[in-house]
Structure 1
Amino acid sequence: MRAVLRRCATLAIFLLFIIGSFPWAGPVQATERGRVTNLPLPRYVSLKATLGNVRRGPSLSHRIDWVYTRRGVPLQITAEFGHWRQVRDRDGAGGWMHYSLLSGVRTVLVDQDMLPLLRAPRTDSEVLAKAEIGVIARLGECTPDWCRIEADGGSGWVPKTAIWGVDPDEIRE
C-alpha cells in the first residue's frame, strides 16, 4: 500500500510540474520560484553565446526549433528543469535552452525607432544619442518609469515602455 501511495504522490508532483511548465498553463506568477535555482520566475537573462539552440523540450534529444544568432539578446525564463531553462523572447516565441548558454547580465531590446537617450529621466532632458529599433542595450538602473541603458558607447535614460526586457514595476539601483 505504501508503494502505491508513494507512486501516486510522485505522479502528482510530476503532473504539477508538467502542467506548470507549458505556455497554455497560464501566466507565471512573479512570486513563484524556480525549482532548481530558487530564483524568481519569470526573470530576465541574456544570451551568453553567439549561437543558442532553442529546443522543444528540456534535453538534447528534443528537436531544435530555431537558433538565436545575436549575442546578448534578452530572454525571459519562465520555467526550470535540471540544466534547462524554458525561455521566451520579445515576440513570445519560446522553447528550452541549456543554462550554459544564458547569462545573468541584463540587456534590453529597443522597441522604438530612433529612441532618444536622455541625460536625465525627464522628457525635457537633453538628448545625448538615439538608438534604432532592435538595438540590444545593457540595462542599468531603473526608476518606476525610466531605465538607463548603454549601447555602443552611448548611454542615457529611456522610458520603460520603449524597451523590452524589464518588468513595468521593476526598480534597479
Structure 2
Amino acid sequence: MRIAKTLSTIAALALIAPALAALVERKPPYYASITAAKARMRTGPGRVYPASWIYRRAGLPVKVIGSFNEKSGPVWRKIEDPDGTQGWMQSNLISDSRTAMVTGVIAELKDTPRVAGKVQWRAAPGVVGRIGKCRRGWCWFDVHGRAGYVEISHLWGVEASEALE
C-alpha cells in the first residue's frame, strides 16, 4: 500500500512539473528563436500596436530583452533580431530552442572544436542552424544535418563566454 501511494505521488509530481516549469519565467536578456513560419514584430506589447516587421523565417535567433504581461491576455516579449531591430512579439511565437546565425565571413564547420580541425562544411553569412555544446569559444552548429564546430565569434545568438550542453 505504501509503495502504491509513493508511486502515485511521484506520477502526480511528474505530471505537474512541466506546468510549474512553464510558470517560472526566464529573466531577460536571453537568446531564443522564432517558432512560427510567420511572426509579427509590433511597436508595442499588444495587438493594438501596428506591426513593424513580419518575419517569415522559423528558427531565426532573437535576443529577448524585456517582457510584458497583459491583464487576462498573452505574454509579450521585447526582442532584438540579428540586425539590431527591436520590437515586441507574442511569447507563443518564440521558443527557448537555441539557434544562431552566421555573421561576418563564411564560417567553417569543423570536426573538432579547434582551429586545426578538419573542415566538414562551410556556411555563408545569414545561414541559421541549431546550436549546442558551446564552450571555450566553439559551438556545435547543425544546419539540417550538416554539422560541425564553429567559432563563436562567427555566430549571432550566443555570447562569447556562454557554455551550453
TM range (shorter): 0.7 to 0.9
Helix, strand or coil for the counterpart of 1:41? coil
Give the aligned residue type for 2:118: E
1:124-166 Cα shifts (integer Å, max 9, x gaps):
1101111111011001110121111100221100110000000
Deviation >4 Å, runs of 4+:
none
Q: Which moved more, 1:59-68 or 1:36-45?
A: 36-45
What pairs with 1:50-69 in structure 2 (closer than 5 Å)? 50-69=37-56
Match of 1:143 among 135, 138, 146: 135
Match in the other structure for 1:7: none
Match in the other structure for 1:162: 154
Give the aligned residue type for 1:92: G
Match in the other structure for 1:130: 122
Helix, strand or coil for the counterpart of 2:153? helix
What pairs with 1:48-87 in structure 2 (closer than 5 Å)? 48-82=35-69, 83-87=75-79
- In structure 2, stretches of 5+ residues that fail to align are 1-22, 70-74
RMSD: 1.2
Match in the other structure for 2:84: 92
- Is 2:103 the partner of 1:103? no
- Is 2:107 the partner of 1:115? yes
Contact 2:105 2:154 in 1 (8 A): no
For 1:85 and 1:172, how far apart are their aligned partners in 2?
23
TM-score by length of 1: 0.77
- In structure 1, stretches of 5+ residues that fail to align are 1-35
For 1:60 and 1:129, how far apart are their aligned partners in 2?
42
For this pair of structures, how many residues does the alignment match?
Answer: 138
For 1:112 and 1:127, how far apart are their aligned partners in 2?
18
How far has the Cα of 1:114 moved from its partner? 2.8
For 2:84 and 2:104, how far apart are their aligned partners in 1?
18
How far has the Cα of 1:37 moved from its partner? 4.5
User: What percentage of residue pairs aligned between the two structures are identical?
Assistant: 33
TM-score by length of 2: 0.80
Give the aligned residue type for 1:145: G
Match of 1:40 among 27, 47, 72: 27
Match in the other structure for 2:14: none
1:8-28 Cα shifts (integer Å, max 9, x gaps):
xxxxxxxxxxxxxxxxxxxxx
Helix, strand or coil for the counterpart of 2:92? helix
1:71-103 Cα shifts (integer Å, max 9, x gaps):
100000001101100000111101000001011
